[in-house]
Amino acid sequence: MMRSFFIVCFKEIIDNLRDRRSLLTSVMLIPVLMPVFMMFLIGFQLERSFDTAEELIELPVIGAEHAPNLMRFLESRNIDIVAGPADGVAATEAVWASEEDVVLLVPSDFGEELAEMIPATVELYFDQANTTGIAKISRVRDALFGYNQTVAGIRLSARGVNPALLRPLNIDHIDVSTPSGRAAILLGILSYLFLFALLMGGMYLAIDATAGERERGSLEPLLALPVARGRLILGKIAATSVFMSISLALCLMSVFATLRFIPLEQLGMTPNFSLNVVIAAFLLLCPFALTGASLMTLFASFTKSYKEAQTWLGILILVPTMPILIVSFLSLQPRFEFMFIPALSQHLILVDMISNEPISSLHVAVSVLSTLAVGAIFTWVCVRLYHREALLG
């Protein structure tokens, strides 16, 4: 009885290994290269933000001669003063055209207003929609705010008033989060990536073993073989689950290797993603392979062609991840009832793993068992479906 099951399973695995293009896309390109690309993109953005915070930046200034003290103060903040556009209109056009990230305009009456101790106006031109210049804009605004505070303190001291009187509260910021917890904020998307890679790993096999067989006209002869149809479909689902598990393992190892090259420590983050966590994450997410494989096989069985199955399963992949997005937007904490929802329960537990938070054994048990139960239900439906002669119609 079990011999026929293993024969079908190995047959589907071998057939899928022969399809080099699908294998490269589902098991190599997405699980391996996508995490590498995402991690290096995060690392590049972090390195860029670090460089922007420390490097010398140029600030185009109109009317720099009207505020020599301000210019010296800005230069002390590692800001190089350069000649700006002709006037405010030209500054607006330069910023709007992305020729400049930020331009400072100092009016001719700036010195007089400052001497008369009335608020002296300066104009800062920037484009808030220009995401590439946000760091530079922030540095200039912080420097101007610092100059404002310095001048205010000097004025008060000149009148014998302690500048500290303007600061009735001295707020000490005490961050009780852990480095692992802060890393989880940035790496919370990993669970979505792992589930996506898992599902993609078996999608092409699920399509080929169902809609592909129908399109090639080999489904009817296959069902006519002296093999129980239940064993036949179980072998197909098992083969799909194997490739999903392989895809998941490759994705986990890819992230594990890539995280070593991202300077999260410079942001005070230490992701808890050791080899033990990788193994635990694999064991936690692996039961979802049965759910994904049986669900894809079920949907693909109703399609008439390979292309139609690709369309529907491409949409189906997004369904299990929708609860993750909803919970992420609502910032909901793990609760017992959430553990009965496949994908969502794995996401919540995995975030706690990366955050190095205590993991409830009950939550893990409920998550694994409920996911396996859902997968078993879908598998049973598939078996019942393949016992219907209408499947050949």
What is the per-residue pLDDT across 129-144, written as a single tens digit (0 to 9) for each?
Answer: 877 788 888 899 999 9
Distance (Å, rounded) from C-alpha 146 to C-alpha 72?
A: 13
Nearest to 301 by CA among 391, 380, 177: 391
- Kindly state the average pLDDT of the residues 317-338: 80
Residue-range domains of the chain with CATH: 2-44+179-392 (no CATH), 53-165 (3.40.1710)
- Kindly state the average pLDDT of the residues 71-86: 91
Confidence of residue 381 (pLDDT cuts 50, 70, 90): very high
List pLDDT tens digits, range 255-313.
888 888 777 776 667 778 889 999 999 999 999 999 999 999 998 888 888 888 888 88
Share of the chain above pLDDT 90, in %: 31
Token output for 304? 């008439």
Alpha-helical segments (H) within 159-305: 179-187, 190-207, 213-216, 219-223, 229-258, 275-285, 287-301
Distance (Å, rounded) from C-alpha 282 to C-alpha 286?
A: 6
List pLDDT tens digits, range 228-263.
778 888 988 999 999 999 999 999 998 888 888 777
Lowest mean pLDDT among 179-193, 202-216, 344-358: 179-193
Q: What pLDDT does 286 receive?
A: 94
**Beta-carbon count within 10 A of 328 CB:** 15
Distance (Å, rounded) from C-alpha 265 to C-alpha 28?
A: 29
Token output for 170? 């001295």
Distance (Å, rounded) from C-alpha 272 to C-alpha 349?
A: 13
State the average pLDDT for the chain. 84
DSSP sequence for 144-155: HHHHHHHHHHHH
Does the pLDDT value for residue 171 go beyond 90?
A: no
- Are the C-beta atoms of residues 275 and 347 closer than 8 Å to each other? no
Render the burial of 130-156: b for 16+ CB within 10 Å, e for the rest: beebbbbbebbeebbeebeeebeeeee
- Kindly state the average pLDDT of the residues 217-234: 74
DSSP label at 336? G
Confidence of residue 393 (pLDDT cuts 50, 70, 90): low
The DSSP bridge partners found for residue 23 are: none
Residue 66 CB partners (closer than 8 Å, separation 6+): 106, 107, 108, 110, 111
Q: What pLDDT does 284 receive?
A: 95
The amino acid present at 267, given as its one-letter code, is L
Residue 70 CB partners (closer than 8 Å, separation 6+): 106, 122, 147
Nearest to 82 by CA among 56, 59, 100: 59
- pTM, two decimals, is 0.76
- Are the C-beta atoms of residues 206 and 13 closer than 8 Å to each other? no
Does the pLDDT value for residue 332 go beyond 80?
A: no
CA 282 to chain centre: 19
Token output for 354? 């990366």
